[in-house]
Amino acid sequence: MFDTTSEQVDTDTGEIAPPKVESLEGMWAAIEQVVPRHELAAAIAALFELTPPLDSDADEAWRAMLVNRFGTVRPFLKLLVNVVDFDATPEGEPVLAAMLSLPELMGRKKVGPAEIDTALLSGSWRRLVLAAPHLEPGTVDWKAYTFCVLEQLHRMLRSKQVFAKNSSKWGDPRAKLLAGQAWQQARPTVLASLNLPGEVGGHLQARAALLDGTYREVAARVPDNAQIVFDDDGRLHFAALEPEPEPASLLDLRAAVNAMLPRVDLPEVLLEVFSWTGADQAFTSVTGGEARLKDLHVTIAALLVAHGCNVGYTPVMGGADPLKYGRLSHVDQTYLRLATYRAANAALIEHQASIGLAQSWGGGLVASVDGMRFVVPVPSVYARPNPKYFGRRGGATWLNMINDQAAGLGGKVVVGTPRDSLYVLDVLYDRDGGRRPEMIVTDTASYSDIVFGLLTLAGFAYAPQLADLPDQKMWRIDRTADYGAFQDAARGRVDLARIERHWEDILRIIGSIHTGAVRAYDVIRMLSRDGRPTPLGDAIAHYGRIAKTLHILRLADEPGYRRQIKVQANLQEGRHALARKIFHGRAGQLYQRYQDGMEDQIGALGLVLNALVLFNTRYMDATVNQLRADGFEARDEDVARLSPFVRHHINVLGRYSFQLPDLPGGLRPLRAPDAVDE
């Protein structure tokens, strides 16, 4: 209206023209040439009728429907308050107090605003509780208030601001952190073990100098670096890595090795690996008895096939005593459990590391952590819906770790919805065996700034793949420094004062994780509230952003570093592909209802995978040595590119044989290279 009834100014020429209309009446006349006034009034009325109120939100519709389901809450609400012993942090105390007062409101006809905590009413809850159409003046809808409090309670439970005392899952992680005398006693050992200083000033100055120097060195090489490109917004992009060509010598070596590998059934692999490593001796009775059943190793191998292949007892049952149903059931309940799986796995990892071929792949100091997803079609509290992986059904994730020698170091079954980053540290600190890795490779799902900080503090070199690299913010400490091509990309600033202010608490956090006093999962959830870090979590994130930026700069400057990360990630993908081949029964779905059952079955799968990799590695190593003895030119660089995940020579889907050949030395004869020309 103001524009129409005011003088018109041409911004290009500065020419002033009279208004389009002189008065409001003239403007209405122009409007009515397009639409009658009564139609416009009706449209405005419909708009206000259909548009939600200004204080509404996207949740109002389902929240209003939820209030009508109060009957599902009423039976257990009083029990929840009386049976579970809750406590809270200062931030969670208002929610806990409101929850404890709910039983007093139930069943009353009138509840006034003074009897509830109106500060908890946010968004559409305020309208539903205080201004519902059916309310009498001066009253509130206490049913809607109940659901509002329960929603806040659930949010506080997840962020550990409200917790249940003496609960392993919903307890207070702060109570498990080292404190007082316990922390003072552990502090010197933790600092020495992790190479962290008690006084952080000099340490942060060294980190700042390292970051500044790396920026300048990499920026100076940008003109000669064809691997990186900056877009118009200054965001960093990497050129795609070209696959390394496979020379003819590698193809010949691979064909020769594959032709000579013995053709075997899966049970034979397990029995032969047992004869090499004695891993079957790790399966001890839960009763503690030392007497072992006759041919126990045969029964154990049969059960590993039954669980690892997800086929059950029927395919592995036989007429021999070790394969009868009663024997299988007894050994399964008495000898097979997570502790014995881990002990047996440690023996396989140690043997794998001693093979020359595995040593040519790596030194065991690089590891990757990634998740393998399983659909869980049965009702289970540990299975969650995730349409990306499980469709309309629930599922679980096996977060497992593999080193650069292709040995699975351990794993953990988690629900299928949380980000893997919540559990990475727990998997790293809960290995079955093997050397402690120094470099950790993950995918983007396992990344966060807090995890970057915790892993760096714990002494790991964290190297995640960053699929969304252009959207990643790079960080600097000196806001006035000129970093050339990275000037726009380095738009974040690390606050060293914030890190220094919280350093003692940071040390106590990482010390508690390092000593096993608290799970890293609980700590990360405690440090993040509704996706926003606490002040302590923010300080750890700022520390992690220094390492994150150094990681991005190294990715930009060293194509070999990117390739090393990709090779390790591909190695784990090969292991997962082999796992899918092994875990073929019941369409590859996990039918265990409880976490213990899931851990046991996935433990069997992990052990079978390690046994297969060990079998392949040892036979491939022997094959290479025999080929060289016969005059075949096997170059070291080609040998290092052989994969241990070949599976065409192992019969997984067919018959299940449990006869161990009586061969000297445990190695059966290698096949003659009949498929390869002399």
Of 30-34, 35-39, 173-177, 436-440, where does mean pLDDT reach its minimum? 173-177
- The band of 675, judged by pLDDT with boundaries at 50, 70 and 90, is very low
Helix 520-527 crosses helix 503-514 at what angle (to 10 degrees)?
150
pLDDT number for residue 156: 87
Report the 3 state secondary structure along 321-382: HHHCHHHHHHHHHHCCCHHHHHHHHHHHHHHHHCCHHHHHHCCCCEEEEEEEEEECCCCCCC
Structure tokens at 268: 């034979």
- Mean predicted lDDT score pLDDT of the chain: 87
CB of 305 within 8 A of CB of 361?
no
- SS3 at position 533: strand
Q: In which element (H, E) is residue 249 found?
A: helix 248-260
Segment 642-657 mean pLDDT = 75
Q: What is the pTM of this model?
A: 0.78
CB of 542 within 8 A of CB of 495?
yes
- The band of 448, judged by pLDDT with boundaries at 50, 70 and 90, is confident
pLDDT in tens, 39-55: 999 998 888 777 766 55
CB of 428 within 8 A of CB of 440?
yes
Of 617 and 674, the structure prediction assigns the larger pLDDT to 617
pLDDT number for residue 668: 67
Residue 315 φ then ψ, to 5°? -65, -20
**Sole residue written with tokens 């045969």:** 298
- Has residue 663 got a pLDDT over 50? no
| Closest alpha carbon to 238 in 551, 510, 547 | 551
Helix 595-629 crosses helix 559-582 at what angle (to 10 degrees)?
110
pLDDT number for residue 661: 47
Question: What is the C-alpha to C-alpha distance for residues 59 and 428, in angstroms, rounded to an integer?
Answer: 39
Of 134-143, 197-206, 244-253, where does mean pLDDT reach its minimum? 134-143
| Closest alpha carbon to 111 in 158, 143, 148 | 143
Segment 433-441 mean pLDDT = 94
Question: What is the C-alpha to C-alpha distance for residues 643 and 448, in angstroms, rounded to an integer?
Answer: 31
Asked whether the CA dihedral 110, 115, 121, 126 is positive or negative, the reply is: positive
Q: In which element (H, E) is residue 565 found?
A: helix 559-582
- Has residue 662 got a pLDDT over 60? no
Cα angle at 665 between 270 and 582, to 5 degrees? 15
- SS3 at position 264: strand
- Has residue 273 got a pLDDT over 70? yes
Segment 465-481 mean pLDDT = 82
286 CB contacts (<8 Å, ≥6 apart)?
334, 335, 337
Q: In which element (H, E) is residue 270 found?
A: helix 266-277
Length of the chain, in residues:
678
Segment 579-591 mean pLDDT = 90
Segment 240-252 mean pLDDT = 89
Segment 563-567 mean pLDDT = 92
Question: What is the maximal distance between C-alpha atoms in the chain?
Answer: 109
| Closest alpha carbon to 667 in 593, 615, 589, 594 | 615
Q: Give, rounded to a whole angstrom, the gap between the first and last alpha carbons of the chain.
A: 93
Segment 222-227 mean pLDDT = 86
CB of 551 within 8 A of CB of 463?
yes
Of 238-242, 326-330, 454-458, where does mean pLDDT reach its minimum? 238-242
- Has residue 481 got a pLDDT over 80? yes
pLDDT number for residue 531: 66
- Has residue 67 got a pLDDT over 90? no
pLDDT number for residue 71: 85
- Has residue 166 got a pLDDT over 60? yes
pLDDT number for residue 454: 94
Of 619 and 158, the structure prediction assigns the larger pLDDT to 619
Question: What is the C-alpha to C-alpha distance for residues 496 and 381, in angstroms, rounded to an integer?
Answer: 42
Asked whether the CA dihedral 506, 510, 512, 517 is positive or negative, the reply is: positive
- The band of 446, judged by pLDDT with boundaries at 50, 70 and 90, is low
The rounded radius of gyration (Å) of the Cα atoms in the chain is 32
Segment 414-434 mean pLDDT = 85
Of 62 and 495, the structure prediction assigns the larger pLDDT to 495
Question: What is the C-alpha to C-alpha distance for residues 351 and 66, in angstroms, rounded to an integer?
Answer: 58
| Closest alpha carbon to 412 in 342, 488, 500 | 342
Cα distances from 327 to residues 296, 331, 337, 338, 603, in angstroms, run: 9, 6, 16, 20, 21
- Has residue 488 got a pLDDT over 70? yes
- The band of 580, judged by pLDDT with boundaries at 50, 70 and 90, is very high
pLDDT in tens, 323-352: 999 999 999 999 999 999 999 999 999 999
pLDDT number for residue 664: 44
577 CB contacts (<8 Å, ≥6 apart)?
645
Which of 54-63, 186-195, 440-449 tops mean pLDDT?
A: 186-195
Burial 114-153, CB ≥16 within 10 A → b, else e: eebeeebbeebbbbbbbeeeeeeeebbbbbbbbbbbbbbb
| Closest alpha carbon to 118 in 153, 92, 86, 142 | 142
> What are 440's strand-pairing partners?
367, 462
Of 92-106, 210-224, 371-385, 640-654, where does mean pLDDT reach its minimum? 640-654
pLDDT in tens, 7-45: 777 666 667 778 888 888 888 888 999 999 999 999 988
